[in-house]
Structure 1
Amino acid sequence: METYIVDSFTKEPFKGNPAGVCFPKQELTEATMLKIAQEFGLSETAFVRETSAEGVYAIRYFSPKQEIPLCGHATLAAAKVLFTQTPQTEIHFLTHQQVDLFISCRGEEITMQFPVYDTEPAAAPPAMLAALGLPAVLNTAFSPKNKILLLEIADDQLLAALRPDFNALLQSHTGINGVLVTAPASHAPYDYHYRYFWPWAGTTEDPVTGGVQTFLAKYWSTRLHKSVMQAFQSSSRTGSMQVELQADKVLLTSHAVIILEGKLVAFE
């Protein structure tokens, strides 16, 4: 089975978010895909198969813990491989939940069209704030579709300096996939910064995540009164993307770098 590791949301090797990409020739069981994702040990691994429709591919995502409905950086990684291998410049990915993701490329830039989801008011447990090292938050919201809690703080430098206690964080809440902490950018060219912690469903921190833009882009568009914004994920690896809100769609534009290609020879 052809396999790849691709660094997404970056132009530089060993930056951004590494994703595994696998191209199985036959249908794999969920248990096998989970084992392969655990073997890679990355935040997500994508499994991509051709369909009977030209330019349409089925895609599924697995963290080392469970299947993930939608993943931005693994989608970008899979698209990078396909655009590198073939002359096509437009493809569709069909997720396991039948979400149609339209992907296009122009030169080295890849644009992904994702759905937009709403948030609702929420509250963060004091134990969660303590585990994150946050003295206070400006606003709290919840994305029911993603099961992610959003915490807005005032300082992007404090955001970059966060060193969560992940054992305490895991115990501070139940029924969520992760917590996203975000802040307005203090310097150009970025409009907002964010980090995503998800010990409930994946690894401790997702280095650069695009899937959260399904609700984060609308959140910041409302506050900043802008439809086109530059987002920066201030994890240790860092990464960035342009986000453009278009009614019920959000366009994510960025780059990716193929780091490794090979063949997986031992799997069920």
Structure 2
Amino acid sequence: MKTYFVDSFTNEKFKGNPAAICITNNTIKNEVMQNIATEIGFSETAFIKHISNNIYSIRFFTPQKEISLCGHATLAASKIIFKTTSFTDIKFINCNNIELFTEQVGGKIQMQFPVYETVEIEIPQAMLKALGITKIIDKRFNSINNIILIEIEDATELANLKPDFTALLNSYTGINGVLVTAISKKESFDFDYRYFWPWAGTNEDPVTGSIQTFLTKYWAAKLNKSKLHAYQSSLRTGTMYTELLHDKVLILGEAIIVLEGQFLL
């Protein structure tokens, strides 16, 4: 099975978020896909299959489970398809039959994702203690992605967070992850964020695109602007541009291929 490793939301190798992209020509059992994702160990491995014309199915697996949406793996899959075909735009269909559109725009890849709402939520002090946070501005919940959002005051504090992941995992059940965000101090960036998800994937996702389905709307309302520049202050770091368009969010980023080979089944 043709397999690629791609670093997403970056134009530098070994930065951004690595995703594995597996090109499937035949039906593969869920158990096998999960074993492959666990073997590779990236936060996501995507399996894509050509349906017709520029339409592909796409499925995302973390080392622990299948998830319905992943931004950096969609970006990585698009990078591979654009490299190996003559298509300039793609329609992906995920496991929930949601259509995800991508296209090449000025040397970058633009993805069109749905927009989701957040609601107020109460979170335990144990979660804040595990994250190393003493003061918060806001706390929200997105039920579609099953993610808690926490806004704090200081982007430097955000970058320096060193969570106790065992305590974090024990502080809450039934969610996929916790997103922590703050207004950016960096020139030309609007907001910073980090995403921790020991419940569903790895301890920390290096760069996360799917959370823009609700994070872009959150910051667009707070900053009163529809076009935003986001910085993920993880160890690998990553950047993306986003734009809120009513019920859609556009996510613009870059990706670089670092490995091409065959997975032996």
**Per the shorter chain, which TM-score range?**
over 0.9
Distance 2:65 2:211 in 1: 17
Establish whether residue 8 from structure 1 lines up as the match of residue 8 from structure 2: yes
Contact 1:89 1:106 in 2 (8 A): no
1:118-157: CA deviations, max 9, x gaps?
Answer: 0000122100000000011110000011110000001000
Query: Cα RMSD over matched residues?
Result: 0.7
Spell out the pairing of 1:1-268 with structure 2 (5 A cutoff).
1-51=1-51, 53-265=52-264, 267=265
Runs of 4+ residues deviating >2 angstroms: none
Consecutive unaligned residues in structure 2, runs of 5 or more? none
For the residue of structure 2 that corresponds to 1:218, the secondary structure is helix
For the residue of structure 2 that corresponds to 1:20, the secondary structure is strand
For the residue of structure 1 that corresponds to 2:6, the secondary structure is strand
Distance 1:6 1:169 in 2: 29
Offset of residue 20 of structure 1:
0.5
1:142-181: CA deviations, max 9, x gaps?
Answer: 0011110000001000000000000000000011000000
- In the alignment, residue 50 of structure 2 is paired with which amino acid? E
Distance 1:264 1:174 in 2: 35
Distance 1:124 1:15 in 2: 32
For the residue of structure 1 that corresponds to 2:33, the secondary structure is helix
Offset of residue 107 of structure 1:
4.4
For the residue of structure 2 that corresponds to 1:136, the secondary structure is coil
Distance 2:219 2:185 in 1: 14
- In the alignment, residue 45 of structure 2 is paired with which amino acid? T
Contact 1:159 1:195 in 2 (8 A): yes
Offset of residue 108 of structure 1:
2.5
- In the alignment, residue 102 of structure 1 is paired with which amino acid? F
For the residue of structure 2 that corresponds to 1:131, the secondary structure is helix
TM-score (norm 2): 0.99
Offset of residue 45 of structure 1:
0.2
Distance 1:88 1:43 in 2: 27
Offset of residue 63 of structure 1:
0.2
For the residue of structure 2 that corresponds to 1:21, the secondary structure is strand
For the residue of structure 1 that corresponds to 2:158, the secondary structure is helix
Counting aligned pairs with the same residue, the percent is 52
- In the alignment, residue 246 of structure 1 is paired with which amino acid? L
